[in-house]
């Protein structure tokens, strides 16, 4: 007889969703977790119990980007920076463009430049695409049919948001979040752009 067969039903279900969330590289949607259970309706109570079990530990269970994910406790970020290699932050120009996309999406490159009051170099746009923070969202039905840009699920994950309704103030978005970015976020090194004149402001917190 397997060890799991000797466990109470709720405990076996807890172990199952715990393993599923731990093994996933991205936040796991509730529907995917519910599909693993005999009683999908028990999922909210199980997630509450699992969150309570990890509360205050080095690893915590949080709801982010429409799913659930294990992350390191934010208060440990200063110590983790000593042992975990953290990618350098995006250039400030790219972060400004990202903030505009987040609040005005879907938005064209020309509209980003109009709001920002400065041109947007291809380097900044490529940095956001490489980091999987923005993606095409169709085309504006105007002359030239310019590409519309919007944020991605990786954007929500990167900034610890459940959905776009939790967007912080623009000033907060320009500051890196107190989390360790996921490997798949594809962070790129900070680069200076011709004409931008913005210095690199250091690495993001762990």
- Percent of the chain at pLDDT > 70 equals 73
Average pLDDT, the chain: 76
Question: Is the full-model pTM beyond 0.75?
Answer: no
Spatial CB neighbours of 56, under 8 Å, sequence gap ≥ 6: 73
CB-side exposure of 139: number of CA atoms within 13 Å?
A: 6
pLDDT over 90 (residue 106): yes
pLDDT over 70 (residue 21): yes
Pick the CATH number of 4-79 from 1.10.10.10, 3.40.190.10, 1.10.3720.10, 3.30.110.30: 1.10.10.10
Q: Do domains 4-79 and 92-185 have the same CATH topology?
A: yes
Cite the beta strand spans of 25-140 per DSSP E.
59-64, 67-72, 107-108, 134-139
Distance CA 189, CA 153 (A): 21
Class of 92-185 in CATH: mainly alpha
Read off the tokens for 53.
Answer: 């079990």
**pLDDT class for 182, splitting at 50, 70, 90?**
very low
Do residues 60 and 75 lie in contact, with contact meaning Cβ atoms separated by under 8 Å? no
Least confident of 72-81, 130-139, 177-186: 177-186
Domain ranges in the chain are 4-79, 92-185
Distance CA 70, CA 51 (A): 10
């Amino acid at each position: 007889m397997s060890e799991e067969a000797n466990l109470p039903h709720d405990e076996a279900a807890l172990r199952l969703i715990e393993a599923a969330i731990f093994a996933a590289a991205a936040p796991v949607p509730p529907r995917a977790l519910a599909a693993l259970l005999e009683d999908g309706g028990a999922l909210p109570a199980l997630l509450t119990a699992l969150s309570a079990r990890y509360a205050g530990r080095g690893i915590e269970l949080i709801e982010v980007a429409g799913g659930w994910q294990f992350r390191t406790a934010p208060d440990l970020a200063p110590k983790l920076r000593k042992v975990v290699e953290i990618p350098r932050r995006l250039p400030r120009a790219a972060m400004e463009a990202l903030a505009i996309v987040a609040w005005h999406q879907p938005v064209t490159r020309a509209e980003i430049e109009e709001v920002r009051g400065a041109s947007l170099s291809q380097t900044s746009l490529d940095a956001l695409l490489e980091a999987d923070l923005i993606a095409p969202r169709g085309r504006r039905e105007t002359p030239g049919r310019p590409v519309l840009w919007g944020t991605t699920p990786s954007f929500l994950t990167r900034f610890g948001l459940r959905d776009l309704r939790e967007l912080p103030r623009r000033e907060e978005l320009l500051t890196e979040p107190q989390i360790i970015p996921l490997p798949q976020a594809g962070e790129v090194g900070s680069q200076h752009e011709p004409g931008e004149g913005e210095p690199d402001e250091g690495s993001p917190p762990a």
